[in-house]
Amino acid sequence: MNKAVAGTVFAVTMLVAGSLYATSGSPWSMSNKKVSRSDYVLTSGEDALVLVPDATAANVGYAEAAQLYLEPSGFDGTATVFPIPEPSNLVASIPAGVTALVQEVESQYTAGDFGDGLNGAPEPLYIFGYSEGADVAGLAEQQLYADNIPTDDLHFVMIGDSASAEGGFLNSFVDSFPQPLQQPLTELLTLLDITAPGLGATTPDNLYQTDVYSLTGDGWANWDGGANIGGLLTDHLEYLGLTPAEIATAGAPVVDDLTSYYTIDSANVDAFPALWEALMVSLNIS
């Protein structure tokens, strides 16, 4: 087997493993304990939706961690965890999540629960997504815009976004291979039924105000031609455990139309405490 073919097989193996990991062992779905945190109250109609899988709907630790990314974006309200469907596989879960989120946002919009914040109107609705939640949010943006939800009425905040235009796995994985291999690789992924729903997807940059936070070593958010393949299972799991000081090291963003990309150098993160705290958040342990 030549080097190029071996590389392709290895990368596909990692893609499959990563997809399975994301649905069974990542912070997105590893919680099964229901220990509530007294400083967060779950109510409906608040002005930020923190996307969580249905199995972790009682895990308000997600809301607490999300606040650290929401507040620098101008959010000063109370975050609400919003459970989205979590079928048995990633390919099915993302479209189901998009449908649930779109229905919720449009229901709130029709009820007048959020707006552009002008002339006494309610403030914009913030939507926070991590990992698969970011994929759900990015795809929902397109549907919400098509359904005429005004640009000024929503504000998205995403972390660990695999569809990031700044090197996300979904839109740079295939392109990172030599040109002759790209078409066969795409066909192989299609045959394996792992192209849907997101391979090739890119988070929109011109629909709604969006802030995207990425760790440099996170292979899902920053594939970098495969240089960060180890970060698929390490750095990608740290976001919920970062401190405000570590998040602040991102500095000035790269701005692309309505989207701001904040990059946190993994070298500025104390990895083990971040992973430990993220685990505590995932297990809903105070």
pLDDT digits (tens, 9 = 90+) for 31-68: 332 223 333 333 333 489 999 877 666 777 888 999 99
pTM for the whole structure: 0.81
Give me the torsion for CA of 243, 247, 248, 249, rounded to 10°. Answer: 110
Q: Is 33 left (phi over 0), alpha (psi -120 to 50) or beta?
A: beta
d(CA 88, CA 37): 28
Domain carrying residue 214: 3-31+38-282
pLDDT digits (tens, 9 = 90+) for 223-252: 998 899 999 999 999 999 999 999 999 999
Write the CATH number for 117: 3.40.50
DSSP string for 126-166: EEEEETHHHHHHHHHHHHHHHTT--GGGEEEEEES-TT-TT
29 pLDDT higher than 60: no
Structural domain count, the chain: 1
